[in-house]
Amino acid sequence: MSKQPTIVVTGTAGFIGSVFVQYLNEQGWDQLILVDDFGVESKRNNWEHKKFIKVIERQAFLSQLPSLDFIIDAIVHLGARTDTTEFNYAIHEELNVKYSKALWNYATEKQIPFIYASSAATYGDGAHGYNDSHDILDQLEPLNPYGISKNEFDKWAIAKATHPPVWTGLKFFNVYGPNETHKGRMASVIFHSFNQIKENGLVKLFRSHKVGFKDGEQLRDFIYVKDLVKVIHWMLQHMLSSTWIDKNNGLYNLGTGKARSFHDLAANTFIAQGLAPNIEFIDMPLDIRDKYQYFTEANMNKLRAAGYIAPFTSLEDGVKDYVVNYLVPAKGY
């Protein structure tokens, strides 16, 4: 690449989007067009100190696309309605399906590389496994409207005869790390554990309400956000340098390939602060009890086969970095 590319990144006031922008800045990339709802005050620290050429409100972006004074080299669509406890499908459909289709169609028309965020929530209870095969999309039964909306867009994208020249949809598993303060109830267990320890010296985890799983032993594939944005950047580099081939287009899992327990997560939040774990168990809220994933573990063979060889941060090291360098000093990334 002789010149620095101009990249559109959506969701940049949010968790993963803001971390991705900072990572791009650290690689020397600042020709960035940031797209999101920038009126949310609790998200301001996530984006306002980053380097970029323009910010555009999400609602205005589609209408402004034809008149932008920039030649867009790639679109990284990380913006989404991610609240798994929001059960009004229409809310998820508007941003996660309709908006995504509009961006896809623009990238197709202009032949722009396109990367978007899907989700492991598409896998539902895991009855069909966690393999990022295109063949099982119609069989998947997500447990909530968020997961349904993500799967609906995945199915639509795979079925489209016309598509961007190079593209990927990334099924994010359980992402944790800095810049998630604004997420409230939807923030990671590490974030909530840290604040519980700070307030009363203990962590409360959900009891198991499923046979075969002990309290706190619900298993998820936790991926540190710094690892996740490195993968996106790696894909983007290959797409922009024309070394990403057509057969690599499609859906990819983005986890670590190793499930760990919530107990391990909470215990390491204590250990990172030099404290002995103190964990209690509480009943899971009824509104999520029958829609809860007890086990997720990404099959990472597809990404590895595409050429990504970097290791993923261990849970112990990721939690320590997050706690010591961001949560304790109350800093963002």
Nearest-angstrom CA–CA distance, 332 and 178: 6
Q: Taking the CB of residue 135, how many other CB atoms lie within 10 A of it?
A: 9
Burial class of residue 17 (count of CB atoms within 10 Å of its CB; 0-12, 13-18, 19+): buried
Nearest-angstrom CA–CA distance, 7 and 156: 24
224 is catalytic: no
CA distances in angstroms from 65 to 3, 107, 139, 157, 167, listed in the order given: 22, 11, 36, 21, 19
Burial class of residue 88 (count of CB atoms within 10 Å of its CB; 0-12, 13-18, 19+): exposed
Nearest to 232 by CA among 5, 21, 15: 21
Write down the catalytic residue from 155, 183, 258, 291: 183
183 is catalytic: yes
DSSP strand E in the chain: where?
Answer: 7-10, 32-36, 54-57, 74-77, 114-119, 167-172, 174-176, 203-206, 219-220, 222-224, 250-254, 260-261, 279-282
* Distance, CA of 270 to chain centre: 25
Write down the catalytic residue from 23, 106, 146, 333: 146
Catalytically active residues are 146, 183
